[in-house]
Amino acid sequence: MGSPHATILFFFFLFFPTTFALPLCTDSSAPVTLKAPLPFCPYNGSSCCSSATDSSIQNQFKSMNISDAACASLVKSVLCTKCDPFAAQLFTIEPKLRTVPVLCNSTFPGNPVRSKDTTADFCAQIWDTCKEISIQNSPFLPSLQGAAGVSATSSKLTDLWLSETDFCNEFGGPSGGDTVCFNGKSVLFNSTQSSVTPKGICLERIGNGSYLSMAAHPDGSNRVFLANQGGKIWLATIPEEGSGGTLELDESSPFLDITDDVLLDTQFGVMGLAFHPNFTDNGRFFVSFNCDKVQSASCSGRCSCNSDASCDPSKLGTSNGVQPCQYQSVIAEFTANSSSSSPSASTSARPTEVRRILTMGLPFTSDHGGQILFGPADGKLYFMMGDGSTKGDPFNFAQNKKSLLGKILRLDVDNIPSKKEIDDLGLWGNYSIPKDNPFADDSERQGEIWALGVRNPWRCSFDYERPSYFLCGDTGENGYEEIDLITKGGNYGWRVYEGPELFQPTSTPGGNTSATSIDAIFPIMGYPHSALNNSVGSASVSGGFVYRSAADPCLYGRYLFADLYAGAMWVGTENPVNSGNFSSAITPFGCSQRSPVACDTVEGSSLPSLGYIFSFGEDNSRDVFVMTSKGVYRVVRPSRCNVSCPLENKDGDDGDRAPGAASSTAGQLEKLQQLKLRILVIVFLLLLLGFS
């Protein structure tokens, strides 16, 4: 029988799997490209180790004084997994780091039948080889010491663990499934993948309004907030799929109206909204928009082109009569208009700002991004900022370490410093810099930066099931639209690269950055402009969501995105699952014949015409919505468009339900998952209390 410590950790591992599942280091940064192979750990190309870290691991290995060569080789491979590009997945079980990576173990969690594949039984291989070998300062000490009273000098595995089962319940993990494990040579993924490829996407039109942004109500209900570009935000109720209902909102009574403060133009307006994770208690929410300081006295911020960023706004000239930094990007905080203790019940917001979180002048009139969202795991506010430039980012803002342009910013809006601290730190408003930002302590870079080298990020999202997956659509310029997997401190290459290709700017008053001086992270998906066929002749990606709704099981776990002008949608697939390796394909879409609002069609065909695809949205049921110039569309069950999906459970329903009939599959699944999680947590706590 295994020790109680191992049993507790087994349940902890089972109930609370790690959220990391992509090339990522234990500090949440992306692996770097090595200029030369590491001297001790056999890693080349992409790695989470510097030469200094490699040397430290070598010293740790020497201190173990392992006399047996076979055991020494295995232990060295285990220590060196800290350098693996998937180190975060291998070492992280919240809320602590493991001392040993997840070792592949085909008998996990205790099946006595061994696999014939020795790599799948790597944990057992270590036990068999090293169980009677002295290992000083062993990394295989029990993580919950106490009853055994072992010390760091205990040297044999048999001194520390009662049996192979006991040992592998602590350090082993399944070889496959939703996790990765270490097999002694490389990270082992589950190589199986669903053979069911989506045949198409089925949509229903539930409203005619044109919106840029959607945010699910934080109270978990079927309500969402919708913002148009002009400055109005509405509280709307989403109808159940198949009910025949449409969006319920009162156009004449917006939740918030800031049209007097917003600069509305083709490139300007309300760019995003985000609700504080504790909105149901504090009523705080945030709006990102543009303003004109000529028209508004409150529209006044430091120019993003300044001496720190090595540019002089007085030398930029005018564009269509607009002075540099006349237009500003703003993040403002508001609060729900509620006299009760429950802001969730509020149907309106106070019309005046609580405070300006950030105000920054734009050097030119395009490429300024503007989306905001809270990280689901860290509660910090992310701000997607474009390079703010005219054609080709001539001042190289996206690579400029002292510029906020062309960056993903990460702000702490819960710890507001004093005005003196804001001035002393040179901040752009009322926020503080999170201490774990990659450049928080780097005087040569802006501490607000989370990632850099983006051109004009348009619509980013976190995967609901794997919060470490932070995907962004980044609009291209001459020839390529891209989807990036954003990581801490990552450099996404612009304007050294546009997508996977080197970019040649026509004007470089701000200087150049060489390709060899950066570790550029290339897109995980994308498409060249030449692949599109649209009358506008332009391209602009609209990032979407990893699909987590129960409505279409053939789309589950795949990433949906689109092009603004072409009216085309793509489905991205990760293979192997959790590897960070994606492929994508244009996927046809249709409109349900019983769509609550009839869909417009392309002239001369029955295909739906969506107009411009502005953005995607997601509600609390994880249904995905497409916001277009012709209305709001929801992705629904494929059978409603006669699209084949063998995974769909129709429950005897071969098509649309009659109007008024309720379909609560997604809601029932969500409740079932929540109930299951509560039961598992209770079981875990009872086990923990029983062993205490």
pLDDT tens digits, 181-235: 899 988 877 665 556 889 999 999 999 999 999 999 999 999 999 999 999 999 9
- Cα–Cα distance between 167 and 143 in angstroms, integer? 11
Coil, strand, or helix at residue 173?
strand
| Out of 105-109, 312-316, 354-358, 474-478, least confident range | 105-109
End-to-end CA distance of the chain: 18
pLDDT score recorded for residue 668: 43
Residue 9 has pLDDT above 50, yes or no: no
**pLDDT band of 691, cuts 50, 70, 90:** very low
Q: Which residues pair with 274 in a beta bridge?
A: 286
pLDDT score recorded for residue 93: 57
pLDDT score recorded for residue 606: 81
Residue 381 has pLDDT above 70, yes or no: yes
Strands 327-335 and 355-361, bridge-based pairing: antiparallel
| pTM: predicted TM-score of the whole model, two decimal places | 0.85
CA 114 and chain centroid, separation: 38
**pLDDT band of 241, cuts 50, 70, 90:** very high
pLDDT score recorded for residue 13: 33
pLDDT tens digits, 17-74: 444 457 889 888 889 888 889 999 988 888 999 999 999 999 999 999 999 999 999 9
**pLDDT band of 605, cuts 50, 70, 90:** confident
Residue 366 has pLDDT above 80, yes or no: yes
Residue 281 has pLDDT above 60, yes or no: yes
The per-residue DSSP string of 268-325 comes to BSEEEEEE-TTHHHH-EEEEEEEEETTT-TT---EESSSTTTT--GGGS--BTTBPTT
Q: What are the angstrom distances between the C-alpha of 672 and each of 12, 613, 675, 684? A: 20, 34, 5, 18
Tokens, residue 352 = 């005046």
Q: What percent of the chain has pLDDT over 90?
A: 68
Report the half-sphere exposure of 330 (CA within 13 A, side-chain side).
Answer: 28
Q: What are the angstrom distances between the C-alpha of 320 and each of 326, 365, 389, 394, 469? A: 12, 9, 14, 18, 40
3-state secondary structure 188-224: ECCCCCCCCCCCCEEEEEEECCCCCEEEECCCCCCEE
Instruction: For residue 336, give the DSSP letter.
Output: B
pLDDT score recorded for residue 600: 94
**Phi and psi torsions of 9, nearest 5°:** -65, -30
- Cα–Cα distance between 410 and 406 in angstroms, integer? 13
**Phi and psi torsions of 639, nearest 5°:** -65, -20
Domain ranges of the chain: 4-188, 258-455+476-539
pLDDT score recorded for residue 40: 95
Spatial strand order of the sheet with 407-411 comes to 372-374, 381-385, 407-411, 449-452
459: Cβ–Cβ under 8 A, 6 or more apart, which residues? 371, 472, 473, 542, 543, 544, 615, 616
Q: How many beta carbons lie within 10 A of that of residue 173, not counting itself?
A: 25
Residue 557 has pLDDT above 60, yes or no: yes
pLDDT score recorded for residue 437: 97
- Indicate the average pLDDT of the chain: 86
| Out of 153-167, 221-235, 496-510, 659-673, least confident range | 659-673
| Structural contact between residues 423 and 399, judged by C-beta atoms closer than 8 angstroms | no
Work out the average pLDDT over 430-440: 96
Fold classification of 258-455+476-539 is Neuraminidase (2.120.10)
pLDDT tens digits, 650-668: 764 545 433 333 333 334 4
| Out of 118-127, 205-214, 499-508, 681-690, least confident range | 681-690
Pick the residue with more confidence: 140 or 20? 140
pLDDT score recorded for residue 43: 87
CA 342 and chain centroid, separation: 30
Report the half-sphere exposure of 315 (CA within 13 A, side-chain side).
Answer: 9
Work out the average pLDDT over 516-539: 88
Fill in the amino acid letter for 138. S
